[in-house]
Amino acid sequence: MYGVIGHENIIRYLEKAIESNSLAQSLMFTGLEGVGKKELAVGLARRLLCKSPDAPCGVCNTCRKIYDATDKKESARFKHPDVLFVTLQEESDDSGASKTARSEIVIDQIRDIQNKVATAPFEGDVRVFIIDHADHMTVGASNALLKLLEEPPSYVYIILLAENTKNILETIISRCQVIDLLPVPLETIRKYLMEKEGCDEERASLIAHLSNGAPVIAERYLNDETLWEERAANIQSVIESFSLTRAGRFDYASRYSGSGADKRLKVVGMLETWLACWRDILLINVGLVNNVINQDYSGELQKISGKLDAEAIRKYLFGIEDAIKKIRGNANIQLVMEVLMLEMPGLL
């Protein structure tokens, strides 16, 4: 009904809250990327606005307008006048064409919500405001949202989506009911892929492992071949860079010169694959081969693991995590990569 894979206990809780008229007006869904936060928010919006006896039905005009997956632009998929979706804005070039995604939610976006909150519902009984990446709000946006959360009209529901609460004001957190979406069991994802999507067992198992408990990531792997190509290239870069000399690694880092939001996103995506690979290398090193995510590359990763000790691998994992944080924080990409390459264990 909600169009969400897993999270049955949360859906049951929301249903009971709606039936008893005790659903909090300010909710915050937290969890890792792709775990289903936005999908659950959409399902809840449909549940509150759908007029079907089996709400949310997902097929009526109301449900389709709340989220229309056929539109290429994410923000344009929300067509219902009583549902507003706010996410990281896109910057435009001189022609007005979409260029890159901004890294923050700005105050003007929250002010737009403030203006709309004052207007009664157009078609339904409630209005639903979904704020994606709520952990990426500017100080001004956070303060504006705080005022909105203090006393929303009775017909308003505000749903914040965030990976965690670390970068969100405590005063905002205290005004929301925080619901943490845990990773979905891999077996649940594997069964869904086999039973609903027609995947064979081997492919379903691999995709489930790659998803790391995030069903949305699993669906991306199912439907987007470019993800497999990018993954293969990123894993190959781990294997290739490990075998280089000090000078070779330094030269390798020079590939990552440049800046810009798109460049940062690409490098962060690559390093997230590196992180998964090096975790696999550690798991192989300590004898937990069955827990490896990148099962189809276990042979190559095992060769690297056999040349290192567990402590060196652990130390490098912290180095990759630190590099991701720095690049996300606008550090010089090439300098960060140079340090990371030279810190890689197994230097020849």
In a structure prediction context, what are the per-residue pLDDT tens digits for the chain, which is 348 residues long? 788 999 999 999 999 999 999 999 999 999 999 999 999 999 999 999 999 999 999 999 999 999 987 777 776 789 999 999 999 865 544 444 444 455 789 999 999 999 999 999 999 999 999 999 999 999 999 999 999 999 899 999 999 999 999 999 999 999 999 999 999 999 999 999 999 999 999 999 999 999 989 999 999 999 899 999 999 999 999 999 999 998 999 898 888 877 777 788 889 989 999 999 999 999 999 999 988 999 899 999 999 999 999 999 999 999 999 999 999 888 899 999 999 999 999 875
- Domains belonging to the chain, first-starting first, are 8-180 (3.40.50.300), 224-343 (1.20.272)
Round to whole Å and give the CA distance between 16 and 14: 5
Would you call 1 exposed, middle or buried from its count of C-beta atoms within 10 A (0-12, 13-18, 19+)? middle
Q: In the chain, count of helices (H) and strands (E)?
A: 15, 7
> What's the pTM?
0.85
Closest CA to 5 of 56, 33, 40, 29: 40
Dist. CA 35–CA 10, nearest whole Å: 13
